[in-house]
Amino acid sequence: MVVAKVSKINDSLGTGRRKTAVARVRIRAGQGTITVNERPFEDYFPNDQERRNVMAPLVKSSKQGTVDISIRVHGGGISSQSGACMLGIARALIKFDSETFDPLRHNHLLTRDSRMKERKHYGLRGARKGTQFSKR
């Protein structure tokens, strides 16, 4: 028996990924509160650059202060987590309001950054580094 996951009535869900970080975003109409892993947004992202990165979809779609956002994020570092949150918010905003698609697409906020760490290769010390050459 397969049971489908049903979200709350007015919630919009979005998933964002960046490097090894995964963010699950839930958006609903509200006063503009943002929580990340049940902590305030400002406490979780102390760096101003990461805060601007996360807020970019809201600013570009002019939804800042009109939606409440709850984010669950894990994996990666702070920078990749902020990128994952940005993509998750952008995807959830499209489900919340389809009018936001054009400004988000125009500002390149719907494209997943596919750059990942390259794997270590056989016979090398890392992905690209080899052993030092010795003539004698």
Predicted local distance difference test score (pLDDT) of residue 3: 53
pLDDT tens digits along 23-40: 999 999 999 999 999 999
Amino acid code (one letter) for 73? V
pLDDT band at 136 (very low <50, low <70, confident <90, very high): confident
* Structural domains of the chain, with CATH: 12-106 (3.30.230.10)
Rounded distance between C-alpha atoms, residue 132 and residue 75, angstroms: 34
Predicted local distance difference test score (pLDDT) of residue 10: 79
> Could you give the C-alpha distances from 2 to 5, 6, 8, in angstroms and in order?
10, 12, 19
Whole-number average pLDDT of the chain: 91
Q: Give pTM, 2 decimals.
A: 0.86
Predicted local distance difference test score (pLDDT) of residue 73: 97
- The residue with tokens 């979200």 is 7
Please say whether the beta carbons of 35 and 69 come within 8 A: yes
pLDDT tens digits along 36-57: 999 999 999 999 999 999 999 9
- DSSP assignment string, 66-122: TEEEEEEEESS-HHHHHHHHHHHHHHHHHHH-GGGHHHHHHTT-SS-----PPPP-T
Predicted local distance difference test score (pLDDT) of residue 53: 95
Percent of the chain with pLDDT over 70: 93
Strand partners, 25: 14, 71
Please say whether the beta carbons of 135 and 37 come within 8 A: no
